[in-house]
Structure 1
């Protein structure tokens, strides 16, 4: 591993390259925070994919891409004299110190649950004009991630179930309500109740320390791998999937589970 001096030297090198690109590269010179935004989101998802794949070399590369974007935003901020990379670093340092009074102050905590609760209460006190702990949940988050963050935040201020069994009872209750609405075939009511089912399942996953986004993505990857195996097998037999029966496809699907 590199020493702290080597790490700082590498970071300084990145800042220097950013300065040079901003001054000399036609593409980099044109970029704004708005033009970079969707690229940053894309890079973040690519990092997430690498983490789920447990590909540490790819994680390293994607972290570099994300870091470049952070430096890029700071560079743009310095050009308008609003902030620079030092301001960004000092801001997060001050925030971390303030929100960890059990490390940098005299507050005592017994576990991570109390740490999270204190964190949310401190954030609420910090918020200028904010009256809800949920104001910190980004509106543009994907719905599944947002549901998890909402539940995390309200739990942080004590609004939570006491036992996982209670949450599972809620899941079963919501499932029954969804089944009842399916019988009516009312699209709006079915959608509403299905949303309640998903929300309650996300809540149960939280109690079981399961990240629902990661869990669903693992299943997406698993399904994709098995279906592509099925496609390859059909191709090797010069068959078109559309012309195969479900029974024929199921043979290869079961094979895929063992690969």
Structure 2
């Protein structure tokens, strides 16, 4: 039996040793069963939990979720080491080299006094690192949430001048797409309705992007407010002391909007 007091005192060596033990024949059955693929969805969940902690400015939860994400980094590195591919130390070496390479204005002779200059240097270096990428659109992750992916695609397209001059363009497009959805609904054409809804959402992302608003965050905030309002109404409807005559959903919705504007 492994005793905690026998573990290294150095925090990094300690957690690496713990991970090695957990994956060993004498370790935990669940940890031993995990693979890169089995951990995929859990890693995504942890990332979203961190985002929630950041939005709530909950420092304790942020620390907890960062630890959970680090656990996944250690987990994947340990699995890779067991398979003879790379180790956690290789990950650290790669990260250090990448940070130095991509900051020549800090660790080299180049200069960059503005964020825009830093971004241009960054893009140039990335292109040199990935010579096999033939398109600006190569490298965009397949599994990005749809709103984030749409914004990424639009941002890339803007680099070859495939973009609106200002936010008025996509705003007019939104109105056009709404008309097309109404027309598709009249025709009762489900395939066309789905397409037009997609076009509408894509235009909304474009409009949001050109205003400097992250559509994913905007939708998440609206969803949170909607949830709070629904929970409020749900509780009011459950409240036996609440006058039956006042249990009008429209009135309750207005009250919920006042409470959660």
Please give the TM-score of this superposition, normalised by the length of structure 2: 0.82
The answer for the alignment partner of 2:48 in structure 1 is: 45
CA distance in 1, matches of 2:165, 2:125: 23
SS of the residue 2:207 aligns to: helix
1:110 to partner: Cα distance: 5.9
Contact kept in structure 2, 1:118 and 1:156, CA below 8 Å? no
**Counterpart for residue 136 of structure 1:** 139
Q: 1:67 to 1:193 in 2, by over 3 A?
A: same
Cα RMSD, aligned residues only: 2.8
**Deviation for aligned residue 1:91:** 1.5
CA distance in 2, matches of 1:208, 1:168: 11
Number of equivalenced pairs: 248
Distance across 2 between alignment mates of 1:40 and 1:145: 18
Q: Which of these residues, 84, 89, 92, is aligned with residue 89 of structure 1? A: 92
More displaced 10-residue stretch of structure 1: 19-28 or 157-166: 157-166
Question: 1:208 offset after TM fit, Å?
Answer: 2.1
Match of 1:35, SS?
coil
Q: Secondary structure at the match of 1:209?
A: coil
**Structure 2 equivalent of residue 216 of structure 1:** 219
Structure 2: distance between partners of 1:256 and 1:200: 30
Q: Which has the higher helix share?
A: 1
SS at structure 1 position matched to 2:217: helix
Q: Which has the higher contact order (CA 8 A, sep 6+)?
A: 1
SS in structure 1 at match of 2:39: helix
Structure 1 runs of 4+ with >6 Å offset: none
The secondary structure found in structure 2 opposite 1:136 is coil
- 1:101: how far off? 3.5
The CA distance in 1 between the partners of 2:178 and 2:117, in whole Å, is: 32
- Do 1:124 and 1:132's aligned partners in 2 also have CA atoms closer than 8 Å? no
2:193 counterpart of 1:201: no
Deviation digits for residues 173-231 of structure 1 (CA, Å, limit 9, x no counterpart): 43344344344332222221221111121122122222111111111111111111111
Q: Is contact 1:120–1:157 with CA below 8 Å preserved after alignment?
A: no
My pick for the range that moved more, 48-57 or 227-236, is 48-57
Residue number in structure 1 paired with 2:3: none
**Equivalent position SS for 2:198:** helix
Partner residue of 1:59? 62
Quote the residue 2:15 is aligned against: 14
| 88-97 vs 158-167, which moves further | 158-167
Shift, 1:106, TM fit:
4.4
